[in-house]
Amino acid sequence: MKYNSPKIATLIACLFIQLISAQEKANHEKAKTAFQTSSKWMPEIDIRSDVAIVYGVNGNPSDHDGSSVFENRVKSWQEKGYTAHFMTGIAWGSYQDYFLGKWDGQNHLGEGQVQKNGDTIWHGRNVPYIVPQKSFVDYIKKEVIERVIDVGITSIYLEEPEFWARGGYSSAFKEAWKDYYKFPWRPQHESPENTWLSNKLKYHLYYKTIDEVSQYAKSYGKKKGLDVKIYIPTHSLVNYSSWMIVSPEASLASLPGIDGYIAQVWTGTSREATYYNGKVKERTFENAFLEYGSMASMTTPTGRKMFFLTDPIEDRRKTWDDYKINYQATFTAQLLYPQIENYEVMPWPERIYTRPYKVASSNKQELISHNYSTQMQVMINALNDIKVSKNKVSGNNGIGVLMGNSMMFQRFPIHDGYDDSRFSNFYGQTLPLLKRGIPVQTVHMENLGYDETLKDIKVLIMSYSNMKPFGEVVHKHLAKWVKNGGVLIYTGKDDDPYQGVMEWWNQKRNKSKVPSENLFKHLGLPLNAQNGNYNISKGEVFVIRQNPKAFVMETGGDITFINVVKQAFKNIGENLQFKNNLVLQRGPYKMIAVLDESVSDEPYFAQGPVIDLFNPRLPVFTEKMIVPGEQAFLYDLTHAYKKNKPMVLATAARISDEKHEKNQYTFICKSPVNTINSMRVYFPSSPKKVTLLNSNGEEIMPKGSSWDSNSKTYYLQFENAPKGIKVMFSL
């Protein structure tokens, strides 16, 4: 018999590609938890999440041993059992070979974002925030994307497509303006319309860049038989609007080349001070809750994947105590979104575990304490276990606040004396509800075309004081929803200087002076509808002629607003319930936030038995008290009692190789070196003996162990090891 060699070779190649594709699919599905790092693998940072996202293709030139070479860093993590992904900046990065002319012989530092005074906005030495040019996009494609895919990586994260609102004065931007608008550049500081047009262009430049790079990556991967996924790590729309940065945000969720996001929310973004009841201060939990909500609402209707990020420290140099308090606040906030189960558990573990930071009330700097590292590891290991839940946060669900990308377009500079101080027109619509224990949601106008977007919304609040509609289709969707029974609350004086910018509502056949006139026309309301409520078919519209910033910037300023929301709920047959807490249970995990500045100063009592997962000693309480301004992360022991078999409930290490045998329960624990594992294990009855073995098979002694007959749990504490500690319980 004669064999057809080309056909056999083709068949083998097809089978190989199918095998790779199957492995890629398994890796994508396995990617529940991740962290990003620019470091090679080190035992000090071996935190055992599913994925190590290796950052940047250009290593540190001073590392003469080659350990920082991109391919070597990737290999070092893969050899330890991690799936390797890749992340790089798309608006900045260690691209000195491009900026300084090594790549194509041309110096590109002049392509940076430039302020009015002529200064370039820098991200680091010889690294400007870029105005994306064709040459820069080509560089990213050839020198970054191709190199990463050639290594076999199929998940790529294009981080932070950011254009500063105060930028827009460089020659590169002026050329982009002429290409896009077909008329000469106009200085954004000279008029509200110029500001609007400038920021709209900034948005477009990165939308186009992301679209082009993502499509190229998928096409290049396909040539190699690889299914490449593209994710966008980005701050929330709330934060970018507050910090006066422009980015494509919600629009990217509908691009064919984008598979999901990382919600970059952490202490540094969430501690931004806000107004409430006339006072300016940090409100980290509340801000984080709104930030995560704005990210969830970007992707939930589209089905794209979303990772939520938290950081046990932050970029600014603070004390360990400060980091811990704010970490607990942001961590709790992220878990109050039961539809999200994927997490970036931390960025830069190398800076968390290997760098000293200040100790409160002293001049000392210390490495992370055993107590904090243990607590942190208990928390991040719980994220490997937490699943999507159909449960809802306690309180009135179904209240939404409309938001859109144009929030970023009118934040800088101040025109005609109109100032939205500390982004208060947004917080005026959200904080008065959240502070009363109402889990207010955010809704992206860019997603109104998806049926899922308004499916569970009963009352929708909106204002054009701090944003504008991107098209008439927004009003068509809203009018349809109201006529089918939705309740809309419109609040605003429509007196900000952006109401009359050159846009669709005042162009061609549309003659509206302000965008709300077009909305009211679709709703069948008087074009200048005043305070009051209006029945529209099966639905209802309330109009409040106040800018929502007054609801938070003035002491007691939210009374009218709250009364209208109460009336709206009463009209649909429900009572608005006020309380000082938000509570959610997801499987055995219970998250509680007790709010200060609320309707009550009473503490919340969580009934036990529960394990306190914020306490490194994992104590069991019959009742846990949480006071206003604090949060709790608890494990409900009734979950273990129902299963009634040996199981690890909480641990500061990743568990693997778990085996249940007749007289023995065994597993392996892996976590970074120089850290302490604290764990609590359930048993129907007291185990007879526990034995700990290191990776060499040598017995080691625990640092602490005890049996609690009341809770039927065994507490165990010992030193962690990246190679693993085998735990054997004799039953």
Which pLDDT score, from 0 to 100, does residue 254 have? Answer: 82
The reported pLDDT for the residue numbered 30 is 74
Q: Rounded CA gap, 163 and 205, in Å?
A: 9
Specify whether the CB–CB gap between 633 and 331 falls below 8 A.
yes
What is the second-level CATH architecture of the domain 399-570?
Answer: 3-Layer(aba) Sandwich (3.40)
Q: Give the strand pairing for 229-234 and 155-159.
A: parallel
State yes or no: pLDDT of 412 exceeds 60: yes
Cα–Cα–Cα angle for 90, 93, 94, nearest 5°?
145
Residue range 350-363, pLDDT digits in tens:
999 999 999 998 98
pLDDT at position 424 over 50: yes
pLDDT in tens, 53-74: 999 998 755 554 556 899 999 9
Residue 24 clears pLDDT 80, i.e. is over it: no
Q: What is the pLDDT of residues 707-723, one digit of tens each?
A: 999 999 999 999 999 99
Q: What is the mean pLDDT of residues 5-18?
A: 46
Query: C-alpha 563: how far from its chain's center?
Result: 32
Burial 465-504 (b: 16+ CB within 10 A, else e): bbbbbbebebbebbbebbeeebbbbbbbbbebbbbbbebb
Quote the pTM value: 0.95
Per-residue model confidence as pLDDT tens digits over 88-109 = 999 999 999 999 999 999 999 9
What's the mean pLDDT when you consider all of the chain?
94
**Region 238-259: what's the mean pLDDT?**
94
Instruction: Match domain 644-730 to its CATH number in 3.30.40.10, 2.60.40.1930, 2.60.40.1180, 2.30.30.140.
Output: 2.60.40.1180
Looking at residue 454, its amino acid is L
Residue pair 604/581 in contact (Cβ under 8 Å)? The answer is: yes
Domain ranges of the chain: 1-28, 399-570, 581-640, 644-730
Structure tokens at 388: 């999507």
Q: For residue 26, name the pLDDT band (cuts at 50, 70, 90).
A: low
Q: Is the pLDDT of residue 39 over 60?
A: yes
Q: Given this model, what pLDDT does residue 29 score?
A: 58
Q: pLDDT tens-digit profile of 152-206?
A: 999 999 999 999 999 999 999 999 999 999 999 999 999 999 999 999 999 999 9
**Can you tell me the distance from the alpha carbon of 201 to that of 186, in angstroms, rounded to the nearest whole number?**
12
Residue 13 pLDDT > 70: no
- Can you tell me the mean pLDDT for 587-610? 98
Query: Is residue 223 scored above 60 in pLDDT?
Result: yes
Work out the pLDDT band at 127, boundaries 50, 70, 90. Answer: very high
Average pLDDT over residues 289-310: 95
User: What pLDDT score does 25 carry?
Assistant: 53
The position carrying tokens 């690889």 is 226
